[in-house]
């Protein structure tokens, strides 16, 4: 009788262990699927950043540390100087803006010609303005040297990042179409001046 009870208890324990193992393997399987999807989406976003100029990624705590260490070390130093711990970061929005203006513009400073000829000190204000950038300053002649001084620089830009969905492109009878394609989310940046790239990073909970 006692042997039968012991045998029953062992069976109960083994069943409990089997159930616990099954639950653990199921949760691990779901976690791995979730991780693969997250990393695949992160890789996809990284590839799209050059064309869309916008990317959104979800990083684990370890990946976030690697990002700050190897991809954005300047921000890492700023965080350290500000006393912000990496473990407390919830999200990062990083924007890079490139702007170059090669438009030729001229400013008439002929009013200084007589002053230079007669070695008389004189100054004349000048301004160089475009849609995005305004520089102004002085053309200064002190009696011996002509100097161009820039004392004010103003840059104006507006950037919009828009997230939206579109139909995934697929082929029907060899023809590319988006009709009835699966919905997928994408984004794009629009700049008044230059070209910006925005990367939004969220910490994985």
Judged by DSSP in three states, 106 sits in coil
Distance in angstroms (rounded) separating the CA atoms of residues 37 and 31: 10
The per-residue pLDDT for 37 is 65
Per the CB < 8 A criterion, the answer to whether 111 and 124 are in contact is yes
The per-residue pLDDT for 152 is 92
Q: How far is CA 55 from CA 16, 38, 66, in A?
A: 46, 14, 18
Q: CB within 8 A of 125, min separation 6: which ones?
A: 136, 137, 138, 139
Q: What angle do CA 196, 202, 205 make, to 5 degrees?
A: 175
How confident is the model over 160-195, as pLDDT tens digits? 777 777 777 777 777 777 777 777 767 667 788 888
Distance in angstroms (rounded) separating the CA atoms of residues 111 and 67: 56
- pLDDT, averaged per 10 consecutive residues of the chain (205 residues), comes to 62 71 66 65 62 74 86 86 84 81 79 82 87 88 87 84 73 74 72 80 76
Per the CB < 8 A criterion, the answer to whether 133 and 101 are in contact is yes
Please say whether the dihedral angle defined by the alpha carbons of residues 167, 168, 171 and 175, taken in this order, is positive or negative. positive
Which phi and psi angles does 21 have, rounded to 5°? -65, -40
The per-residue pLDDT for 196 is 80
Bin 144: left if φ > 0, else alpha if -120 < ψ < 50, else beta. Answer: alpha
Q: What pairing do the DSSP bridges indicate for beta strands 91-98 and 54-59?
A: unpaired
């Amino acid at each position: 009788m006692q042997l039968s009870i012991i045998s029953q208890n062992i069976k109960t324990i083994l069943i409990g262990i089997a159930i616990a193992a099954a639950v653990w393997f199921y949760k691990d399987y779901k976690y791995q699927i979730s991780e693969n999807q997250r990393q695949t989406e992160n890789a996809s976003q990284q590839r799209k950043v050059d064309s869309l100029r916008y990317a959104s990624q979800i990083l684990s705590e370890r990946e976030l540390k690697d990002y700050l260490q190897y991809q954005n070390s300047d921000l890492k130093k700023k965080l350290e100087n500000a006393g912000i711990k990496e473990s407390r970061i919830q999200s990062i929005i990083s924007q890079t803006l490139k702007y170059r203006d090669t438009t030729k513009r001229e400013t008439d400073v002929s009013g200084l010609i007589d002053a230079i000829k007669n070695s008389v000190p004189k100054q004349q204000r000048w301004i160089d303005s475009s849609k995005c950038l305004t520089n102004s300053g002085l053309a200064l002649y002190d009696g011996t040297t002509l100097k161009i001084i820039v004392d004010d620089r103003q840059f104006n830009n507006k950037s919009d990042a828009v997230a939206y969905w579109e139909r995934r492109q697929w082929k029907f009878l060899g023809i590319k179409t988006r009709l009835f394609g699966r919905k997928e989310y994408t984004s794009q940046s629009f700049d008044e001046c230059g070209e910006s790239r925005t990367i939004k990073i969220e910490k994985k909970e």
